[in-house]
Structure 1
Amino acid sequence: MTFSKKVRALVGSENLFLLGALATVFVGFSWSTPLFLTASNFGSMAFQLPVLGLLTLAMMVPILSGGLNLAIIFQANISGLALATVLLHFGGPEAGVGAFLLGVLAALTAGALSGALMGLVVAYLGAHPILVSLAMMIFLRGLGEFLTKGGDISGFPPFMKTIGHGSLLGVPIPLLVFLAAAFVWHIMLRHSKHGFSVYMIGSNIKASEYSGLNTRRTLTMIYTISGIACAIAGILMAARFNSVRVGHGEALLLVTVLACFLGGLDPFGGFGRVVPVILALCILQALSSGLNLVGANQHLSTAVWGLSLIVVMALRWLADYINPSGRRRT
């Protein structure tokens, strides 16, 4: 076996491609501006990435099952609103750690319930996930606007700033939360019965039913877990922005889909892994930060992200055309 084949076998062809793309982005922006390879820029990226990362994990599992969750942003915001409501009830800035933990429980419950409701409708009524999640998105947005009267809710205890802006042993706390969630996602998908069922449903739901898998229970769990990831993202957003608003993070919805597809997920379900998705997130975050440092308009980042997805799809089509038997479906 040649050296290149050994490297490809060890790292994985998908990861190798993404690592090469990440290195290219780093080299390009390092040459363009001396501010890119600085501790302050890396720190900024490390604080910005986790919320997008958690929302991407929330989007990832539904896509693996052949579905989609368009409600992730508003699930995160309604969860943050649940946290804020509890904190304000216990005095806002004077609320203690106990009130915060109760608020976290309320946030996780709100995210899980909204996800479970979507999962039940998809699983037991057979409704299309796009329509179900779109309906949930509209409902949560309207509910959030009604509860907040279209404004912000702020006035949280000072210790929440530590969660959103603090570090532990030099590593940002939000990044540690995201890495822990990514590790749990990896174990769940690759080393659990639930993960096996997710891939089977994404590959062929009818065959999964005939093989004896409880597809309804799995679908319900998929969207429940997605809602929990959204709730964690909502808690981090509340801690980072020191406020809760229904519209926080609206621009991130399509970026999560882009990160999933850039990370190798099959848009029809059945194939994808956590590590390539994390690498894709790093590429998108580096692109955004680099373009910001060179003074590019923020809308250019969105255009570059969209172009990246087109390029990736074209390259994958070319790879499948050249080697149609090399595509994996596991």
Structure 2
Amino acid sequence: MSESARRSQAYTAAGVDIEAGNRFIGRIKDMVKSTFTPGVAMDIGGFGGLFKPDISGMEAPMLVAGADGVGTKLKLAFQFDRHDTVGIDLVAMSVNDVLVQGAAPLFFLDYFATGKLESGVAEQVVAGVCEGCRRSDCALLGGETAEMPGFYPDGEYDLSGFAVGMVDTPRLVTGTSVTPGDVLIGLGSSGAHSNGYSLIRKLFDQSGLRPDQPFPGSDRTVAEVLIEPTKIYVRAVLALLQTIGIKGMVHVTGGGFYDNVPRVLPETTTARIEFGSWPILPVFDWLKTEGRLSWPEMLQIFNCGIGYILICSPENAEKAMELLDARDDVDAYRIGEITPREPASEQVEVVFP
């Protein structure tokens, strides 16, 4: 037995395998390096991640930070024994948040915690995190793998993540300039993203569906539909911001339309949304039916097919749609407009056909 193995024996007896952790880090190094961008100023293994942002051409650089997790969607990953998508979710939830203010994500840090490190599962998770970072042109700068015996049930883990982005202060998107007449452009979601999964899991468990059978109304399996990762909008939106003035943006997450859209609206305005101006994915029809929910209830819980919203002036709307329609990584729909707010009315009005 090596000297290092003897030194770690006491900790191993307590349930923490230091050597397994070290081997895991060695196996993911190339994956992590595949996310490195020109600003990364370090190799893997330091106590802190070093990043030197390019601020050339900026008047007043500002950092924008966000943190999030995957939530109870992880329970389905455990149930389906599929772990290669939740890492994408993890990155998406944070980078889409910092994007709302016009910031380009710079780097990401992840936290993976489990009772006993299963390297194959952990590698799948990190592979997903790396894929999410590549899709958002964001470096995986560091993270933490915590093995905590007795803290989590066997076979389970938890994830959290932290993104830092940067925007030039004069180009910060705040929503303060939104006025009546402005246009709402919705960007299609890939599914339920990472919200409403306590209800989704309950409905799935009650449905009798098997993970490997076709999902109702779809040619994909139940597992593929229910753990489809959150769409990342970074490239499409940043490209648009280079050309078009955008007044406000919304990441449609927990709370759906009714809670998220007002976060970027002046108090004197209402977002009037035309339901049916975008296609409804099969997963939302199924959730509505299985949960015996109304569409207003659905729009309070889920994104219902629109994961991100842009607000721009009428004169910019046509050009924005033209630019978005030319891309193959996003679907865009003109879904409504900003109107004057009536006294005591809500800030989101959904008009049903």
The TM tier, using the shorter chain, reads under 0.3
Question: Which of 1 and 2 has higher RCO (CA within 8 Å, sep 6+)?
Answer: 1
Which structure has the highest strand share of the two? 2
Which structure has the highest helix share of the two? 1
Using structure 2 for the length normalisation, give the TM-score. Answer: 0.23
Greater gyration radius: 2
Using structure 1 for the length normalisation, give the TM-score. Answer: 0.24
